[in-house]
A and B are shown apart, each in its own frame.
Chain A
Amino acid sequence: MKRYETEVIIIGGGVTGAGILRDLSLRGIPAVLVEKDDIAYGATGRNHGLLHSGARYAVNDLESAKECVSENRILKNIARHCIEDTGGLFVTLPDDDPMYHTRLIEGCKIAGIKANEISSKEALRLEPHLNENIMAAIWVPDGTVDPFRLAASNILDAEEHGARVFTHTEVTEIIRSDGTAVGVRCKTRDNDVIELYGRVIINASGVWGQHVCSRAGIELAMFPSKGSMLIIDYRVNNIVINRCRPPADGDIIVPGDTVSIIGTTSRKIDYDRIEYLTVDDDEIEVLLADGEKLIPNVSRTRALRAYCGVRPLVAVSGDTEGRNISRGIVLIDHAERDGIEGFITIAGGKLMTYRLMAEQTSDLVCSKLGVKKACSTHKTHLPGSERKVRPGMNIKAFTGIPNSVVGSTLYRHGQRVHNFLTKDKKNYRLICECEMVTEGEVEYALKKLHVRDIVDLRRRTRVGMGPCQGELCAYRSAGLFHEYGSATPVESQKLLRDFLEERWKGIKPVLWGDTLRESEFTYWIYQGLFGLGNIKE
């Protein structure tokens, strides 16, 4: 058993936990983060990656809209390399109530969102693949954000300021002494036990917050709501397309790196199902049908995979019936609520407001610890975002390496590409040919970005996220785990098998057409040619 002491322990490696870790580290407070799986494993990595302008909330939830407006501005500055300033459109289709269009414009005005009514013709010029029959359009400053990168660079920055991170380490017990939470006992993936002691423990585990609280003997009711999304093989749109109607299933298409994502459904699920989520066939049908209404090309394009996440909605003020669910930020000091000192839960909120949530939580921590240092996360650039990322300008610095490699890597790591994209042979060896991931990038991720398996590697680099879903790159990556000392050869075979199983989860719901052809081919290779299902461990 290993034992560590620190000031603050954060449970949960989602973007909120990562944000808190960074905030505290920038304030000079020692902190350790524990994550049961991987960074951005939960809801952080399971949404459509919209950088809200706030317009989506402008009609029904003015407070959220205002939060989005200010966080949108901040993120566009501090997290440039995780963000694409695509702009967004709200389009009204013939079936939609035209009044919503008017209400949205008014709401945006009140919230301070720069929304411009534009002609349908202009909208079609901006986004040529839009449904030609749109009735009206509003331009809003939406964008896209890559949540994996956002969480990972928060972690990276925190570590560079002295923080520690344990991924694939699950908290099994909140250690209490009298009425105070003093530490956590954890189990690693290899079944080692770690004990961490600190003065404040923060539960930032999203939908698992209920579970973590129960380990401290506290009741906290989460009301999990499942949202499913569909990934389209390539960017069918370069601007975020929203349907101008009250929030409903299938009302948005977000371009994200090389793909487009159709979102989102909303289904209430039981808490005990949160680990066993599947996308239902009827959800796929709804998403495709509604997606096609926005961009007709959707129906002619391969659906790469479907996935779902759980919105971590919390019942406030002891409501166990779920009538009073908050969609806003919920910060609970359990000393006040339950009489347990040194234990805080942060929940609710959304990807957009992760930094604000981290700031509020850290402020509370500071007041508990008596530290008087102000938050600086709103003005300090994340690692990789120090300078503006403009591929056109930056590509030239890497003469000799193909633009496609430089540009793709810049998208993923911003200025940090300089740390590994050298003229070394490694950077001419492509591991993932769909997303242009080089051996050099894999090495960097393995050594610097807490990558323990190929699924983690995918979150850091996009390995296996392209059209072939890992057909060539999975094997190539597995070998590198061994070469760079992250796994034994037989372990890397298991990683390979597990990765393909993980990919299969998202492929199954969309298994038709080219996706089925691709799967048959992948099965030929990995089972027919390699017999990967028959390995001896």
Chain B
Amino acid sequence: MIKLENISFDHCLKCTVCTIYCPVAKVTHLFPGPKQSGPDAERLRIKNPELVDASLKYCSNCKRCEIACPSGVQIASIIQEAKWNYVRKGMFRPRDFFMSRTDLVGSIATRVSTIANFVLGLSLVKFFMEIILKIPMKSVFPSYASGTFVNKFSRLRKSQAPYANRVTYFHGCFVNYNNHRLGRDLVRVLNAMNIGIDITDEKCCGVPLIANGYLEKAKKNGIYNIRSLSRMQRANGGKIVSTSSSCSYALKHEYSHFLKLDNSAIYDDVEYITKFLFDQFEAGNMPAMNPVPLRVAYHSPCHLERLGGVIYTIDILKRIPGLDLVILHSECCGIAGTYGFKKEYYQISKRIGSQLFQLIEHVNPEFVVTDCETCSLQIESNTEYRVLHPVNLLAMALESMPEA
């Protein structure tokens, strides 16, 4: 029986452009490239599922092939689908299980963050993680915050009441468990623009679940999120914003294209934060900003490129006075979500990122700026530089404002 939901492979003209821009094929010859693993092989897999090649597991789903494709072929999605349709299924894979349950692991770890961070840092633990979970010893894990952003926000909730204009904030796991500061900075920035924030019940957007083949679970999360967000959105009448480029991409596109969920209730209202800010600034709602005299290098994450959202982030950054902005040549950092945390891809992941790391060192900024949480982990663990989110920079521009 053939499943033919994504027939975009039919548009492939065999022009080979995707093979040029595949970061994985660039560094390893274990991967035959997106053209071969995607549209070419899909015709064969439809003929006979046994013709699937194991090499497609090397695809990191960075989507640079889809960005490059002049024919609109959803190459990465085809490969991901093939990976989980034809390759091993059902078996319990402890590493993939835990890695993809960012919300489960996060909610436990934040409760015992000091211990969790300490334990994850122990070399003995790392040793066993390498043996049992096949997570390389050298991996640097995100450190867990103490408590969750949701808890912290409950104390702020009252302060949001006066604002007439409101948005729903999809904070995502990373803000919730690891990076409260980003959430707090967003509140600060939006409040400065006279916009209040609501948050609602949410589950992990599903990106790590998709990447690890837990499609059913991802669908469940998707349905939950669509329902919960649309309810809140109806209540406050505003947009739904996210500070994670990957969460935004999932809510908007992976839900409909890949998981085949009906997200029309939220589709037009989900915005990655910089697009939202761009529209606000354009409409004249721009907070007064103080100069931020920093030299920063901006790295554009793959999924934001795919979303076509990079121009908005750059626009926002350009509006920060005093900022010395260097835009790095667009390269994949190699982490691709959980890909770079896995032993079999660890070296590939580092090799992919090496060009970006060199570029950063060459520019030698005070901070690197990027929109994606796992990109920032990858950059922080492979270079000497600290990484900020564009919203962090905006908050800095407000911070140096003398109180009115």
Contact = CB atoms under 8 A, between A and B. Distances in A.
A300 interface: yes
Interface stretch (A20-28, A49-57, A171-179, A400-408): A400-408
A434 B15 CA distance: 12
A126 B1 CA distance: 7
Interface stretch (A232-240, A482-490, A529-537): A232-240
A518 B11 CA distance: 9
Given A392-B50, A404-B51, A238 B2 contact: yes
A402 B53 contact: yes
A433 to B, nearest CB: 6
Interface stretch (A246-254, A339-347, A371-379, A463-471): A463-471
B265 interface: no
B311 to A, nearest CB: 27
A514 interface: yes
B13 to A, nearest CB: 5
Nearest to B11: A514
A258 B71 CA distance: 21
A297 B46 CA distance: 14
Given A258-B47, A403-B50, A472 B14 contact: yes
A234 B51 contact: no
A125 B14 CA distance: 33
Given A297-B4, A300-B7, A433-B40, A467 B51 contact: no
Contacts of B47: 235, 255, 257-258
Given A403-B53, A404-B51, A467 B46 contact: no
A139 B17 CA distance: 44
Contacts of A334: none
B62 interface: no
Given A407-B50, A433-B40, A434-B40, A468 B14 contact: yes
A462 to B, nearest CB: 11
Given A408-B44, A433-B35, A433-B40, A517 B50 contact: no
A391 interface: yes
B320 interface: no
B145 interface: no
Contacts of A315: none
Nearest to B40: A433
A234 B41 CA distance: 11
A302 B9 CA distance: 10
- Please classify the interface of chain A as helix (H, G, I), strand (E, B), loop, or mixed, using the class held by over half of its residues: loop
Contacts of A408: 44, 51
Q: Which of A234, A235, A472, A521 has the most CB of B within 10 A?
A: A234
Interface string B39-55: 01111101110111111
B116 to A, nearest CB: 42
A402 B13 contact: no
Interface string A297-324: 1001110000000000000000000000
Contacts of B50: 391-392, 395, 403, 407
A128 interface: yes
Interface string B349-374: 00000000000000000000000000
Contacts of B32: 402
B15 A128 contact: no
Nearest to A126: B1
A468 B40 CA distance: 10
A433 B14 contact: yes
A303 B46 CA distance: 17
Nearest to A436: B44
Contacts of A466: 14, 43
Contact of B51 (A125, A391, A517, A521): A391
B13 A391 contact: no
Given A257-B47, A297-B7, 20 more contacts: A128-B4, A129-B4, A235-B2, A238-B1, A238-B2, A258-B46, A302-B10, A391-B48, A402-B55, A403-B52, A404-B52, A407-B51, A433-B14, A434-B14, A434-B40, A436-B44, A467-B14, A514-B13, A517-B13, A518-B14
